[in-house]
Structure 1
Amino acid sequence: MDRMAGWATLRHNGAGEKGCVEKKGNSFHMSLTRHESGSHSAGPGLLCLLGRRARRSLPIVVLVSIALLLMPWTGLLAVDSEFHAEDPWARIGQRLALEACASGEQSLFWARHYAAHPDYLDTVLARAEPWVAGIADELEQRDLPGELALVPMIESGYDPYAFSRRGAAGAWQLLEPTARSLGLVIDEHFDARRDMPEATSAALDYFEAMHRRLNDRWDLALAAYNAGPGRVARLSASGALSVQPWKSAELPGETRIYLARLLGLACLLAQPDRFEYDWPRVPVDSAALSITLDYPVDLAELAVRAGLDIQGLVELNAGHRRLDARVDHLLTLNVLAADRERVIAALERKPGALESQSGAAYRQARAELVALKSARIPENRNWHEVAPGETLWTLSHRYSVGADTIRRVNRLEAGAEVRAGEMIRIPAGVPTLLPDQYRVQPGDTLWSIAREQRVPVALLKRLNQISEDTTLQPGDVLELGEPRCCDQIPSLFEPIATGY
């Protein structure tokens, strides 16, 4: 199937071509009609939309057509909300395949654990909000299980800028060789791993391939996404994974924890009332749609012309490495449904026609974002020489370290900014902790951490690759692993002298 087939898309080429609207799942593939006068017309697109429904409901089509002809036309892009189905998370919940709540104490523990940390979960779900409707569409069109929509929550917290030490990037944490083998573009202008519609379609392609390879078992496909398909295929062929993989001692402990956490989220999604968690609904206008252009666009300039938040538009288009977004093929621009009409109006205006009163704000914002978008995360995080246009905000995003932390480490006064040429100390990254992580504090020892967190010392050593020569430093983040409730897995939990 075509890449991004489940995402609402409209085409805009500024050349006056007529277009068509096609309903796919619960999204729309939209071609914008533009006449010589520059105005938009619903005519061909609307007829296309209604025509595809005519086989099922001709009387309704006639009535809707007459009603629309009698009322003022407010724009082609206002059509899709009327046909919006139920909440996308509810649709995803209906597609869960693994009966997570019945899979054992591990999943129940993680469901309770996530529900007990609503601030963390709410943050991740807010980050997922623009994309979850499109993901739900793709899952339905491909007949895939709902658990796949939870994978980016475990992999990255739905952060398109996430970057691992191994080089995996994007919300789906795809390695470059894997991404290229799936047909994703990675070049100096664009990294499709960070573009949510592109990366999602590729990741689902990957899951489908693993599912076919692993005897049509989705539990093994999910395990393979973490442990590698080759490893899981060999274990499956040997009969080692005939039971539930999250209980198999043959899989790495990291993979078992990965699966337990994912099943915990699935259980929480399936039965939120059981855990007293209010899983938030997704507002219709918060969904992202994609506009296909055949010309380059400056993201900062477009945001100013459309009256949008520049940082928000850039984050929706994380795949573009530069603000002057350009690719060697058709360019796809992601915008929120609530902003679509303003964006279309801004695209109609002559590029560069900025209001004079917004010029200073545009130049400042663009300088910051140029520094952020063109920067690569270096290996050495100790010191950074500030480049022109860089600010505490761009440095905090570049290094995944809070701006307040950088200010505190460098003893900068409140409100003070960094200056070009200045050497700034960058502390170790301090991203938001997951529920199963712990940040080392001054005076901590491995034994004291194990006692406080009720985790065996042996498990801490194994999960964090701690040897006898390892010295813990304040600020280090330790993986805590599976909870004490799950010590029925003897290979993962070993008794320790403290007796708990």
Structure 2
Amino acid sequence: MQYNKLILCFVTLASITLSAMHGDSSETMRPAQFPALISSVHVSGPLDFCGEIVELDNPEVRERLEKELLLTLWDRPQIVLWIKRSKRFFPIIEKMLQEHNMPQDLKYIVIIESALRPHAGSRKGAIGFWQFMEATGRRYGLVINSEKDERRNIFRSTEAAISYYKELYELLKSWTLSAAAYNMGEQGLQSEILAQKSNNYYHLYLPLETQRYIMRAISAKIILSAPEAYGFRFTEADLYPPLQFDRIRLECFQETPIAIIAQAADTYFKMIKDLNPEIRGHYLAAGSHWLLIPRGAADGFHTRFKVLVNQWLAESSERVYVVKAGDNLSAIAERFNVPLPALIIWNRLAKNKHIHPGDRLVIYSDAIELEEGKAGE
């Protein structure tokens, strides 16, 4: 009896707490405002993907699409992020697709590939907005090395994806098949087309991932084309604003700290990295680069940059230390009174990097001059 009273007390307290938590916002949380489950998975035609009809009159196709639509709607926080990010990145992708006379629906491929995240990665090694594998990215002109990975650049990766899709469409004569080939590879898809004697995507038996791939893209299109129908209501202020930037060309005659570029652009290190996610590490490699900097910062940038670089070169006391037997990074950092993370950054070392006698380390510190002086006494 006492136990039952305790349970009743707990339930009452929980109800009061939840009511207090909702407060004035309870109006926006009413279940009645969300679409009924049956309407959420009911897709009315006609429906197309890249201008090609989706065969909703085929029960198997409808079942696959409704399954993906339902699974997608289940992850509502992810959809919220899709919608918020789309305001930032879709205008860039849409403009580039239009310039190349490509179907606008291809932008939904980016949604299902990376959720519009530049640093998205897969277990197989695909990276960036369009999830290019390294070899494929290089094939379509992307720079991928220890200093830069253009798969993370929205402009360069979209250019590469457009080139790839053009080739796929020329080969397959169907945007739906082209998207399937983008997922599983053109050779694998062509083999299935020949073996099954059908070039209709909806009639092909393909790997499960590819069977789901187009349906996931169509589900993203359905939801993002009419988010209000699925309970997603946003004001303009809720969405992430489009990127605001100036584009500059920068010549670096040697490796240059990104911190200096940030100073010249009147901003901070993270902003430069966020606008240029393809840059790896803390330095920009020697050579010519196109960079994005905050809107308005281009005016006078090169003058400020030249002054800052010259000042950095004059002030930095760069010396080379030759690793000796028994040395380790922590001991070297302590010896020259420099932070261990700085020593790692200066020398582009992995955190678990092992050094060996004879290795040469760059150290920006007057302490090394003292060490050299002692050695000469």
> Quick check: 1:201 aligned with 2:159?
yes
Distance (Å, rounded) in 2 between the aligned partners of 1:198 and 1:213: 23
- Residue 210 of structure 1 contacts residue 224 of structure 1 at CA under 8 Å; is this kept in 2? yes
SS at match of 1:291: strand
Alignment of 1:67-78 (within 5 A): none
Give the Cα–Cα distance (whole angstroms) in 2 for the partners of residues 222 and 373 of structure 1.
42
- Amino acid in the other structure paired with 1:160: P
Structure 1 segments unaligned to the other structure (5+ residues): 1-92, 355-366, 377-383, 388-500
1:370-407 deviation per Cα after TM superposition (whole angstroms, max 9, x unaligned): 8599677xxxxxxx7599xxxxxxxxxxxxxxxxxxxx
1:171 to 119, 125, 129: 129
**1:221 aligned to which of 178, 190, 209:** 178
Contact 1:322 1:373 in 2 (8 A): no
Q: CA deviation at 1:321?
A: 1.8
Deviation of 1:219 after TM superposition, in Å, equals: 0.7
Conservation of the 8 A alpha-carbon contact between 1:100 and 1:107:
no
Aligned partners of 2:180, 2:142: CA distance in 1, in Å?
23
Larger gyration radius, structure 1 or structure 2: 2
Q: How far 1:182 sits from its partner (Å)?
A: 1.1
Partner of 1:302: 261
Q: What do residues 150-185 of structure 1 show as CA deviations (whole Å, max 9, x unaligned)?
A: 222212222222233322222211112211211222
User: Conserved in 2, the CA contact under 8 Å of 1:152 and 1:172?
Assistant: yes
Q: Distance in 2 between matches of 1:244 and 1:198?
A: 29
CA distance in 2, matches of 1:129, 1:308: 23
- Looking at structure 1, the residues matched to 240 and 120 of structure 2 have their Cα atoms a distance apart, in angstroms, of 26
Do the aligned partners of residues 284 and 252 (structure 1) sit closer, same or farther apart at CA in structure 2, a change above 3 Å counting?
closer
Residue in structure 2 matched with residue 253 of structure 1 by the alignment = 208
CA distance in 1 between partners of 2:214 and 2:305 (Å):
51
Partner residue of 2:194 out of 216, 222, 237 = 237
- Give the secondary structure class of the aligned counterpart of 2:251: coil
* Unmatched runs of 5 consecutive residues or more in structure 2: 1-46, 310-340, 355-377
Cα–Cα, structure 1 residues 141 and 281, in superposed 2: closer, same or farther, change >3 Å? farther
In the TM superposition, what is the alpha-carbon distance from 1:277 to its structure 2 partner? 2.6
Alignment of 1:268-417 (within 5 A): 268-278=223-233, 286-287=242-243, 289=245, 291-296=247-252, 298-326=257-285, 328=287, 330-335=288-293, 339-351=294-306, 353=308
**Aligned partner of residue 121 in structure 2, secondary structure:** coil
RMSD: 3.8
> Is the Cα–Cα contact under 8 Å of residues 259 and 269 in structure 2 kept in the other structure?
yes
**Aligned residues between the structures:** 269
State whether residues 170 and 194 of structure 1, in contact with CA within 8 Å, keep that contact through their aligned partners in structure 2.
yes
Partner of 1:120: 78
When normalised by structure 1's length, the TM-score is 0.46
For residues 138 and 341 of structure 1, what CA distance do their matches in structure 2 show? 23
Higher helix proportion (structure 1 or 2): 2
Checking the alignment, whether the CA contact within 8 Å between 2:260 and 2:308 is kept in structure 1 is no
Identity %: 21
Partner of 2:9: none
Match of 1:84 in 2: none
In structure 1, distance between residues paired with 2:119 and 2:221: 24
Instruction: Specify the SS of the correspondent of 1:349.
Output: helix
The CA distance in 1 between the partners of 2:268 and 2:80, in whole Å, is 22
Please state whether the residue corresponding to 1:104 is helix, strand or coil. helix
TM-score, with normalisation over the residues of structure 2? 0.60
Larger mean Cα displacement after TM superposition, 181-190 or 236-245: 236-245
Aligned to 2:220: 265
2:134 maps to 1:180:
no
Contact 1:124 1:157 in 2 (8 A): yes
Q: Aligned partner of 2:242: which letter?
A: S
Amino acid at match of 1:277: F
CA contact (8 A) 1:100 1:264 kept: no
What secondary structure, in the 3-state scheme, does the structure 1 residue paired with 2:290 have? strand
Does the C-alpha gap of structure 1 residues 136 and 238 become closer, same or farther in structure 2, counting only changes over 3 Å? Answer: same
2:75 counterpart letter in structure 1: H
